[in-house]
Amino acid sequence: MTRRRFLIEGIVQGVGFRPFVHRQAARLGLNGWARNTAAGLELELEGSAPALDDFLHTLRTAPPPLAVIEEIRTEELAPTGETGFAILPSRQGAAATLISPDLAPCGACLAEMNDPQGRRYRYPFINCTDCGPRFSIIRRLPYDRPATTMASFAMCPDCAAEYADITSRRYHAQPNCCPVCGPRAEYRDARGAVQDGDPLVLAQRALAAGQIVAVKGTGGIHLACRADSPDAVARLRRRKQRPDKPLALMARDLSAAGRLCRITGDEAALLQSPRRPILLLDKKDPTGQSWLSATTRLGVMLPYTPLHILLLDGHSGGPDLVVMTSANRTGCPVLTDNEEAVDVLQGVADGFLLHDRPIANRCDDSLAMVWRGAPVFFRRSRGYAPQPILLDRDATGILAFGAEQKGAFAAGRGRHAFVSQYIGDLKNAETLDHYRTALRTTLDLFGLMPRALVCDLHPDYASTREAQEMARERGLPLRQVQHHWAHMAACMADNRLTGPVFGLVWDGTGLGEDGTVWGGECLVGDFRSYRRVGSVRPIPLAGGDVCTAQIGRTALALARDAGCPAFAPDFARREAVAALLDSGLRCPRSSGMGRLFDGVYALLTGCTQAGYDGQAPALLEALAEGAAPEEVYTPAFYEENGVRFFDTRPLIRALWQRKNAGAGAAGLAAGFQQALCRMALDQCRILNPDRLPVVLSGGVFLNRALLEGVTALLEEAGYTVYPHKRVSPSDEGLALGQLAIAAGI
């Protein structure tokens, strides 16, 4: 007989691991025990050496579906003659384990929910060890029921029996419950008064009638209305003050989503996965459903909680396709509290489908597109957070504060980088409070003790101020890292590269080492240093940040710089802006690729205002989709102070001439994007003579045409290209790069 201790780290709690171990022990004739620890799972098993080897092989090759095993350590022990198998109480200690994200219902729970003879028939909070809420309900570790928002729901005898039965799929399922003992849904009217009747039926009828309903999910509250009603959507947009931004949809199933969108096999698989992100799907009619999105794509997700599934099941004639957008004040985080939602959404929601299970951790829906068979994240949140990014070296004690507009932070422990859920624009006071709360929660939950801090170079970012304050309070060293170097490092860490690499980093803005605004950069370096070797010709931004909304100002600057001021569209106070440009006052110079997109879109369409961040680049991408380039433009360059600049002036003049000759905006937009792809190739050929791996980062690479075009041209030329895989290329993923640089990985 042989006895062996196993220490297993990773996501191994709340995923049915101990029942799995029990089943394998019974199959192999092994005796012993298992228990949760703060580090993961500990077990001792005794039996024949071949049986123990078989057990280890099964651990490595066929663990429970939701488990993520990162390390297994074993130790040989002296046999004790123990018989039977026991689950011991969890061991307390410093938090060091991982937590599963919130996941969609499994097939077994769905079958049970739809069984009229079952005691959980149509119960909107059904779950088991293979599915259900996790991150959104946990307050502390180890992951046991008293440490979750289910603590106040005492299990009935039937649920308690399942919980204690190691052969049940609900063995130690911490959110386990039923209609007798668990959370309950309720429907309230517009004033917040609870209504009699089945809450789901009342909500379905309200949606069918064209009303707007607030719906509480796992990580926050949404506003829903039927997607096929332009009038209902127009009311929602007006009440929520969201006139232009695309709205996410929730579809009953693939068939419902397929009425509006084309869905590939890879997209179908991700839509139906337990993570259930919002996916950007191509419209069947690129110009259709304009009341939902002015682009050629729609953001669609499938129901990810039992409550959502029941809401869209058509049981009482309700719609099978609804708008499902975050319920919040303009610019603020998604709402989570029932009473606050009723108060804030007065005059917005016609009814409220709520429940009494508290949300401990706010978590927005994840948003991605599928490219080359894998997700590219616009927003990494529900379904993915707080699962850490595995690094190839130790980052213990490093806390990175990220950027500002798409706020997120990252904290290191061992080889894990805990990148926070999406948080939002930190200029907003409520969002900054959410950032602070999420940061405290992450540090406490995972037992993280910062010993070194890192933030952006920009002195006015709220995240920079937060880092400076913590450094003062705790007496910790603080390092400030240039924005685009952090982007490059984030893509390196995302792909587990150590460098050196050649980085194409294209985004809107970031403070450069020279005090100007960068954003169309070519960098060479690694985690320890970098050099700026290429960029885009900078233009003055009249009034600074106001140009992100008043894109006509950027168009005027581009046109004047190119010697064709008549190309710029007319807009209010144009002469005053021209005078400001002449003076140079309050006109920071920017090489930002996002601002170039803003200006070119305004030049091609005459539109001078953007309703939300990134609108003009998104609309330019949509305008160009499917169009043949009007002309092949040859990129021009010049060198200054050792930096090779892409000269935008010849391109702007060529666009002006073609537009004057009657060329359509779509073909011109396609030609502009194609020119940027060729520019990237030319910069790489000249500035990367050693043929270093090329990493692509920055929010501009969420443009599918550029991502595909740049990657294809570089690969055809023999370069190895690495886009982002596990975090967003936008500022949301930047904290990972800051952490990697500070850790010296």
Taking 70 as the threshold, does the pLDDT of residue 679 lie above it? yes
> Rounded to an integer, what distance in angstroms lies between the CA atom of residue 409 and that of residue 422?
9
Annotate 621-661 with DSSP letters as a single string: HHHHTTPPPSS-PPPEEEEETTEEEEEHHHHHHHHHHHHHT
Q: Is 683 exposed, middle or buried (0-12, 13-18, 19+ CB in 10 A)?
A: buried
Q: To the nearest whole percent, how much of the chain has pLDDT over 90?
A: 88
10 pLDDT band, cuts 50/70/90, is confident
Do the strands 636-640 and 589-590 form a parallel or antiparallel pair, or are they unpaired?
A: unpaired
- Within 8 A by CB and 6+ apart from 271, the residues are 254, 257, 263, 279, 300, 301, 302
354 pLDDT band, cuts 50/70/90, is very high
68 pLDDT band, cuts 50/70/90, is confident
Tokens 């509290």 correspond to what residue?
A: 337
625 closest CA partner among 293, 286, 264, 372 = 286
513 closest CA partner among 457, 551, 582, 473 = 457
Residue 417 backbone dihedrals phi, psi, to 5 degrees: -110, 110
Do residues 458 and 108 lie in contact, with contact meaning Cβ atoms separated by under 8 Å?
no
Taking 80 as the threshold, does the pLDDT of residue 66 lie above it? no
Tokens 């990657």 correspond to what residue?
A: 711
Q: Is 638 exposed, middle or buried (0-12, 13-18, 19+ CB in 10 A)?
A: exposed
Taking 60 as the threshold, does the pLDDT of residue 617 lie above it? yes
For each of the domains in the chain, give its residue range(s) and CATH number, in order of start: 2-87 (3.30.70.100), 99-365 (3.90.870.30), 388-495+732-743 (3.30.420.360), 504-723 (3.30.420.40)
470-504 residue pLDDT tens = 999 999 999 999 999 999 999 999 999 998 999 99
Token digits of residue 213? 């309903």
Residue 340 backbone dihedrals phi, psi, to 5 degrees: -65, -40
Q: Is the dihedral of CA 574, 580, 581, 586 positive or negative?
A: negative
Give me the pLDDT at residue 565, please: 95
Helix (H) or strand (E) holding 585: none
Asked whether the whole model's pTM tops 0.85, one would answer: yes
Give me the pLDDT at residue 94, please: 43
Do residues 464 and 455 lie in contact, with contact meaning Cβ atoms separated by under 8 Å?
yes
Long-range contacts of 558-562 (CB under 8 A, 24+ apart): 558/596, 558/599, 558/600, 558/603, 558/648, 558/652, 559/603, 559/652, 559/656, 561/537, 561/648, 561/649, 561/652, 562/648, 562/649, 562/650, 562/652, 562/653, 562/656
The CA-atom distances, in angstroms, between 135 and each of 64, 98, 381 are 18, 10, 11
Q: Which three-class secondary structure state does DSSP give residue 269?
A: helix
Residue 160 backbone dihedrals phi, psi, to 5 degrees: -65, -35
The torsion region of residue 317 among left (phi > 0), alpha (psi -120 to 50) and beta comes to: left
Taking 70 as the threshold, does the pLDDT of residue 97 lie above it? no
Q: What share of residues in the chain are helix, strand, coil (percent, to 5)? A: 35, 25, 45
Annotate 491-506 with DSSP letters as a single string: HHHHTT--S-EEEEEE
β partners of residue 96: none
Q: Which three-class secondary structure state does DSSP give residue 236?
A: helix
Give me the pLDDT at residue 37, please: 82
17-29 residue pLDDT tens = 888 898 899 999 9
Length of the chain: 745
